[in-house]
């Protein structure tokens, strides 16, 4: 049977100052105590890990105002056998209350995993565990398995919604097929985590979301005002300061939407989106107790630099925004890079320099190609002072390079073309000893000269 670990148990040390006027929140923890919870998971059984994290979570909720918690358990009363499972094995062990942390922790210690997995029946009864709808009612389900009693959890979803209950499975896949997570779409939302580190982070967000009920998604819009741009780092600073609050890699979730974030609504934020060039959105306010959507224009395309050089020492290119001499980025040839939609000037750091223009368009790849370089191999009989010039025509010589006067041999990569070396022996102290040597460079070929 394909199994998962659905949980929202491990908490961060809560440091949330809930305002007195914040509405009452009720969290019902549902703990799976089915027999499969006895299987090993990490350093202990699934059950021992779940109990430990749940106890820690409950303890950290002790001082939270305007909060009531309760505990329901299933699969803990009747052992499952090869020919029988008790699909009514679900019980509200500790009802909602303001001072019941000790009672819940005590009950958690007593529970032993041994029974079936009646998720649908449990959720159905859980709807009646909440006294009324005059609060934000939340269920956090801790389970390792799919429904085992042939009931459909989706059938109880409407009753839960009518009760004002938000069922929120926070999912941790234990090396299983995550496509089965779609079975829980009808119940609520979920997150994935496959390691202990991601497990802890996810659960911290779960409890924060349950308490604040404040969520955020950041839409990085393309030119069609659709949030398709992603996979770029966002830095969120406390507005007007250099105090970094969040470092987030923008992600499109399993449903094709920008991922939901949990941000502290007590701050306004300056957001830096690390595209090329960067995009800034300042003084962003997060509204409490609602889902916030922040829209940022960040349309991108791809610039690909290609060369037919057989020399694997690929040149670099200096990328600048049109009519700007400021270096925006340095990109290596034989590479691709995303840029915001727009016009760019490209200076290729070859000898001689190559100057190109690039128009980056939405979701398209602009390819810039340069010829392969050739190689000049030189050797001097004496130490020389010498310079290399590019011959553009018979009357125009463009300086390119100064030889090192302490070396008598070496190599130099040059673009295809005609060149001239002007030189004299270093020890000669008269201009009359000046000499010239004209040579040609072909792509991917070696030219040798001796002076």
Same domain (yes/no): 160, 34 = yes
Last residue of a domain, one of 212, 227, 258: 212
Measure the CA–CA gap between 281 and 279, rounded to whole angstroms: 7
Same domain (yes/no): 234, 323 = no
Same domain (yes/no): 191, 238 = no
User: Residue 10: its pLDDT value, please?
Assistant: 32
User: Residue 420: its pLDDT value, please?
Assistant: 95
C-alpha distances (whole Å) from 104 to each of 117, 207, 218 are 21, 17, 38
Say if residues 352 and 390 touch (Cβ distance below 8 Å).
Answer: yes
User: Which residue range forms the structural domain that includes residue 119?
Assistant: 3-212
Same domain (yes/no): 35, 168 = yes
User: Residue 271: its pLDDT value, please?
Assistant: 98
Q: What is the dihedral of CA 293, 248, 142, 40, to 10 degrees?
A: 160
Say if residues 360 and 366 touch (Cβ distance below 8 Å).
Answer: yes
Q: What angle do the packed helices 46-60 and 196-212 form, to 10 degrees?
A: 40
Residue 361 CB partners (closer than 8 Å, separation 6+): 301, 341
Same domain (yes/no): 304, 362 = yes
Say if residues 170 and 206 touch (Cβ distance below 8 Å).
Answer: yes
User: Residue 96: its pLDDT value, please?
Assistant: 95
Same domain (yes/no): 89, 197 = yes
14-45 per-residue burial string, b: 16 or more CB within 10 A, e: under 16:
beeeeeeebeebbbbbbbbbbbbbbeebeeeb
- ω before 277 within 30° of 0 (cis)? yes
User: What are the φ/ψ torsions at residue 37 (nearest 5 degrees)?
Assistant: -70, -10
- Residue (of 189, 191, 211) closest to 201 by Cα position: 191
Same domain (yes/no): 282, 317 = no
Given a cut of 50, the residues of the chain with pLDDT beneath it are: 1-21, 169, 171-178, 193, 195-196
Same domain (yes/no): 241, 206 = no
CATH code: domain of residue 229: 2.60.40.1120
Residue 79 CB partners (closer than 8 Å, separation 6+): 35, 114, 115
Measure the CA–CA gap between 221 and 382, rounded to whole angstroms: 63
Same domain (yes/no): 119, 71 = yes
Last residue of a domain, one of 281, 297, 313: 297
Say if residues 45 and 155 touch (Cβ distance below 8 Å).
Answer: no
Q: What is the dihedral of CA 47, 49, 50, 51, to 10 degrees?
A: 80
Alpha helices, DSSP H, located in 185-242: 196-212
E strand or H helix that includes residue 414: strand 409-414
Q: Is this structure's pTM higher than 0.75? A: no
Last residue of a domain, one of 297, 313, 335: 297
User: Residue 290: its pLDDT value, please?
Assistant: 77
Say if residues 311 and 375 touch (Cβ distance below 8 Å).
Answer: yes
Same domain (yes/no): 189, 275 = no
Tally of domains in the chain: 4
Q: HSE-up of 280 (CA within 13 Å, CB side)?
A: 6
- Residue (of 118, 42, 106, 41) closest to 76 by Cα position: 118
Same domain (yes/no): 323, 279 = no
Determine how many CB atoms are found less than 10 A away from the CB of residue 385: 16
Measure the CA–CA gap between 158 and 137, rounded to whole angstroms: 14
Same domain (yes/no): 315, 411 = no
User: What are the φ/ψ torsions at residue 183 (nearest 5 degrees)?
Assistant: -65, -15
- Residue (of 191, 196, 188, 187) closest to 178 by Cα position: 191
User: Residue 192: its pLDDT value, please?
Assistant: 63
User: Residue 18: its pLDDT value, please?
Assistant: 37
Residue 173 CB partners (closer than 8 Å, separation 6+): 4, 5, 181, 192, 193, 194
């Amino acid at each position: 049977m394909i199994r998962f670990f659905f949980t929202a148990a491990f908490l961060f040390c809560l440091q949330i100052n809930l305002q007195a006027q914040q509405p009452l929140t009720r969290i019902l923890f549902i703990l799976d105590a089915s027999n499969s919870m006895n299987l090993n998971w990490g350093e202990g059984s699934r059950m021992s890990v779940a109990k430990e994290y749940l106890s820690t979570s409950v303890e950290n909720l002790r001082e939270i105002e305007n909060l009531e918690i309760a505990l329901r358990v299933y699969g803990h009363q009747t052992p499952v056998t090869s020919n029988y499972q008790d699909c009514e094995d679900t019980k509200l062990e500790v009802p909602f209350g303001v001072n019941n942390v000790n009672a819940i922790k005590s009950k958690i210690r007593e529970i032993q995993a041994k029974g079936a997995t009646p998720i649908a029946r449990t959720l159905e009864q859980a709807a009646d565990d909440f006294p009324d709808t005059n609060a934000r009612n939340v269920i956090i389900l801790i389970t390792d398995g799919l429904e085992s009693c042939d009931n459909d959890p989706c059938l109880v979803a409407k009753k839960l919604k009518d009760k004002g209950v938000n069922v929120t499975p926070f999912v941790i896949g234990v090396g299983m097929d995550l496509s089965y997570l779609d079975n829980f779409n009808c119940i609520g939302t979920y997150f994935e985590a496959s390691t202990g580190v991601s497990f802890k982070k996810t659960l911290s967000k779960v409890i924060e979301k349950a308490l604040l009920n404040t969520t955020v998604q950041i839409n990085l819009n393309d030119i069609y005002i659709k949030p398709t741009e992603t996979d770029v780092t966002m830095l969120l600073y406390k507005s007007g300061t250099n105090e970094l609050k969040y470092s987030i890699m923008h992600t499109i979730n399993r449903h094709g939407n920008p991922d939901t974030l949990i941000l502290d609504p007590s701050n306004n934020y300056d957001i830096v989106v690390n595209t090329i060039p960067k995009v800034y959105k300042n003084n962003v306010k997060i509204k409490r107790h609602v889902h916030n959507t922040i829209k940022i224009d960040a349309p991108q395309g791809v610039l690909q630099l290609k060369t037919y050089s057989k020399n694997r020492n690929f040149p670099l290119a200096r990328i600048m925004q049109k009519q700007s001499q400021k270096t925006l980025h340095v990109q290596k040839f034989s590479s691709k890079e995303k840029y915001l939609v727009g016009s760019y000037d490209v200076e290729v750091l070859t000898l001689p320099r190559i100057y190109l223009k690039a128009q980056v368009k939405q979701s398209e790849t602009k390819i810039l190609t340069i010829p392969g370089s050739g190689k000049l191999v030189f050797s001097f009989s004496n130490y020389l002072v010498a310079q290399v010039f590019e011959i553009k025509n018979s009357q125009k010589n463009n300086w390119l390079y100064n030889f090192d006067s302490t070396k008598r041999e070496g190599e130099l990569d040059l673009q295809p073309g005609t060149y001239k070396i002007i030189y004299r022996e270093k020890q000669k102290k008269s201009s009359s000893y000046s000499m010239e040597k004209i040579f040609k460079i072909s792509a991917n070929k070696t030219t040798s000269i001796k002076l």
